Amino acid sequence: DHIHVFAPATVANMICGFDILGFALEEPGDEVIMRKTSVPGVVITKITGDDGRLPMDADKNTVSACVQFLLQHLELEDRVGVEIELHKHMPIGSGLGSSAASTVAGLFAINKMLGDPLSKEELLPFCVEGERLACGHGHADNVAPSLFGGITLIRGHDPLDLIPLPVPEELVAAVVFPQVDVPTRDARQLIKEKVLLKDAVIQWGNIAGLVAGLFKNDYDLISRSMQDVLIEPTRAILIPQFYEMKQIALENGALSFGISGSGPSVVAITRDKAMAKQIVEQIKAHLAESEIESYGYVSGV
Ligand code: HSE
Interface pTM, i.e. ipTM: 0.98
For a pocket test of ligand 1, which of 10, 11, 14, 19 has the largest count of ligand atoms closer than 8 A to its C-beta?
A: 19
Q: Is the CB of 98 under 6 A from ligand 1?
A: no
Q: For 252-262, give one letter per residue: b (16+ CB within 10 A) or e.
A: bebbbbbbbbb
Angstrom distances, CA of residue 124 to CA of 101, 138, 140, 248 = 12, 11, 8, 37
Torsion, Cα 21 100 38 70, to 10 degrees, reads: -50
Output the residue whose Cα is nearest ligand 1's atom 3.
262
**Is-contact 108 70, C-beta < 8 A?**
no
Answer whether 85 contacts ligand 1 (Cβ < 6 A): no
Q: Which atom of ligand 1 is nearest to the CA of 18?
A: 1
DSSP letter at 158 equals: T
Q: Which of 10, 8, 51, 53 is nearest to 32 (CA)?
A: 8
- Which 3 state secondary structure label does DSSP give 265? coil
Residue whose Cα lies nearest atom 8 of ligand 1: it is 261
What is the full per-residue pLDDT of the chain (301 aa) written as tens digits? 899 999 999 999 999 999 999 999 999 999 999 999 999 999 999 999 999 999 999 999 999 999 999 999 999 999 999 999 999 999 888 999 999 999 999 999 999 999 999 999 999 999 999 989 888 888 999 999 999 999 999 999 989 999 999 999 999 999 999 998 778 888 888 898 999 999 999 999 999 999 999 999 999 999 999 999 999 999 999 999 999 999 999 999 999 999 999 999 999 999 999 999 999 999 999 999 999 999 999 999 9
Per the confidence metrics, is the pTM higher than 0.90? yes
256 is annotated as contributing to ligand binding: no
Spatial separation of the C-alpha atoms in residues 164 and 167, rounded to whole Å: 9
Residues 6+ apart with CB under 8 A from 227: 15, 16, 206, 256, 258
* 209 close to ligand 1 (CB < 6 Angstrom): no
Among residues 221, 198, 191, the alpha carbon closest in space to that of 208 is found at: 221
| CA distances from residue 71 to 64, 85, 141, 198, 218 in whole angstroms, order as listed | 10, 18, 24, 47, 44
Q: How far is the CA of 84 from the centre of ligand 1 (A)?
A: 27
Residue from 242, 179, 209 nearest 14 by CA: 209
**Residue 267 dihedral angles phi and psi, to the nearest 5°:** -135, 135
169 and 273 in contact (C-beta within 8 Å)?
no
